[in-house]
Chain A
């Protein structure tokens, strides 16, 4: 509570140090309404139009189901990898000082900055039969391109920064005294990590991985090049929605899109709830 706010507060209405609450709040809400909320509502309305029976039929149609299954499985694979690798990356960037650290740090943003289609093309070129990686993997009988692995790799590429960039600041702000305290109290390095560091970064880590997962569900540009897009095999849900759209099957497209949104939304709500439970009593009331 700032001193100014206390002094300035006349009876009844509390005044703030900086004016403009009405204006800024108004602009923010309008923006959220037009850009974020309205399209989602439109999507839900479109979905509602279809009717539950028809909606269900579209979703459990073999091709849709296969696409959804592939999308969710690949996103889960990508997220599992990102969770581990992203945490490691954030750790290395924060805890160690080495030449090229800043460069590595900046490189973490490339997936955000690069057009996803470019990423998809590059990955395809690398993993194709005569690409750098593909050449090495082919003799071992491993093929990445046109398989779920390719989809997962593309998804992981575009969503890795979410984990790194959410965990990194928390790790940076972590009071070194906490680890030293644990050390003087006899904790082993593993105990310090498990009992002191993990609980501190867990909320941010959860949010980062969930957002990464949600992003992977919807990833389009990077995936379609490497996936091969064989119906029933390597066709992702968002591509199927586009195909339906091109077939003028608006209901089909809306149903698939809505299912993706629902999965992402449920996850986000879940992770936010978890996060607020975890941090509930850590910040001063």
Chain B
């Protein structure tokens, strides 16, 4: 029982939104499609749902070709980013909708629909809201109702488009844990789309990082976090510091940077680029070092330290404030990264801006 996506491509006018997606999702898995906006993740989700069709490629579930089936025939549960609850129906009627539109021959009796809805209401912990209208609910409550409505038809796959995108941070964290619980106890296969790395990592069994219509990396959250497969994933996961290094006998070398903590890599000698997280870099006072502290700013718990060498290489580090007490502006420092990722090839030209990864910060109201 698995969902198999092969070589899926989709173009909107001149824009190639998906460029050959291959992915297999196993029964009971919770998958996150993670990527910046425009990466094609929502389009992929909509194609799985049957709300959009690819130009090329295949999609099958349990051996059945899903591209030949309509959204209704696929029996998927789709939770929309803005919930799309029917405004003229009560919570109860919203959740019952999928059952009440079944052909008369398959439709459960009224009493049976009511008991299914009651079961879902208590499962989703919203018993008290049964007779309210969507306009009378908070964002978090609407989210639960939307999920209930999608689950009522006992979907083969549950698809969630930015499920927490429109909620504030606290509600978002609570709902995230709650959704994980719901997924585990319902035992469905679920795929959700998010641009929030933290959300994807906390919730998913497997994270699929997408960019520009292709899958950059698929894997367990920790695996992706520790070993980003491409420079895009590295940048997206917060390895925002890029340093040109030279590989020699499997070790990276750069003036003023102590790279002894990094493991030996099976890479050919030559220029390479080292990706670092600011929090993994420790500036150590060293009168011989080529780097000088040019900026220090406190965020309360952390010190944001910027060091620069004469060649103009600018490196940002984040140090716990207690450990950075001796740092002064203008002081020469050596940099000691605790972890990093190396990709062959020199730094891409200035065309690559150091992007802050998309996090919930920007969506926060």
Contact = CB atoms under 8 A, between A and B. Distances in A.
Interface in B176-205: none
A184 B50 contact: yes
A33 to B, nearest CB: 35
A180 B82 CA distance: 12
Interface size class of B (residues with CB under 8 A): 20 to 34
Nearest to B152: A185
Contacts, number: 79
B135 A283 contact: yes
A281 B84 CA distance: 16
Contacts of A278: 88
B82 A186 contact: no
B278 interface: no
A195 interface: yes
Interface string B94-120: 000110011000000000000000000
A42 interface: no
A282 B133 contact: yes
Contacts of A188: 72, 101
A186 B78 contact: no
A19 interface: no
A185 B82 CA distance: 16
Given A184-B71, A185-B97, A196 B86 contact: yes
B49 A184 contact: yes
A282 B85 CA distance: 11
B80 interface: yes
A280 to B, nearest CB: 9
B94 to A, nearest CB: 9
Interface in A174-199: 175, 177-178, 180-188, 191, 195-196, 199
B82 A182 contact: no
B136 A284 contact: yes
Contacts of B50: 183-184
B146 to A, nearest CB: 8
B72 A184 contact: yes
B149 interface: yes
B84 A186 contact: no
Contact of B72 (A175, A183, A282, A284): A183
Contact of B80 (A177, A187, A191, A285): A177
Nearest to A194: B101
A284 B137 CA distance: 8
B153 interface: yes
Interface size class of A (residues with CB under 8 A): 20 to 34
B82 A177 contact: yes
Contacts of B153: 185-186
Interface in B44-83: 49-51, 70-72, 75-78, 80, 82-83
A191 B76 contact: no
A207 B71 CA distance: 35
A200 interface: yes
Contacts of B270: none
B87 interface: yes
A225 B172 CA distance: 67
A196 B85 CA distance: 10
Contacts of A178: 84, 86
The winner among A177, A184, A281 for most chain B CB atoms within 10 A is A184
A284 B87 CA distance: 11
B84 A177 contact: yes
Contacts of A182: 86, 97, 101
Contacts of A186: 72, 75, 98, 101-102, 153
B136 A175 contact: no
Nearest to B155: A184
The winner among B49, B75, B77, B88 for most chain A CB atoms within 10 A is B88
A204 to B, nearest CB: 13
Contacts of A180: 51, 71, 78, 80, 84
Contact of A184 (B51, B132, B135, B136): B51
Contact of B78 (A181, A191, A196): A181
Contacts of A195: 86, 97, 101
Given A182-B101, A184-B71, A278-B88, 14 more contacts: A177-B80, A177-B83, A178-B86, A181-B80, A181-B85, A181-B149, A183-B50, A185-B72, A186-B102, A191-B101, A281-B132, A281-B135, A282-B135, A283-B135
Interface of B: 49-51, 70-72, 75-78, 80, 82-89, 97-98, 101-102, 132-133, 135-136, 149-150, 152-153
13 contacts: A177-B82, A183-B51, A185-B72, A186-B72, A186-B102, A195-B97, A196-B86, A199-B88, A200-B87, A200-B88, A278-B88, A282-B133, A282-B135
Interface of A: 175, 177-178, 180-188, 191, 195-196, 199-200, 278, 281-285
* 7 A-B pairs closest in CB distance: A177-B84, A185-B98, A281-B133, A186-B72, A199-B88, A184-B78, A187-B101
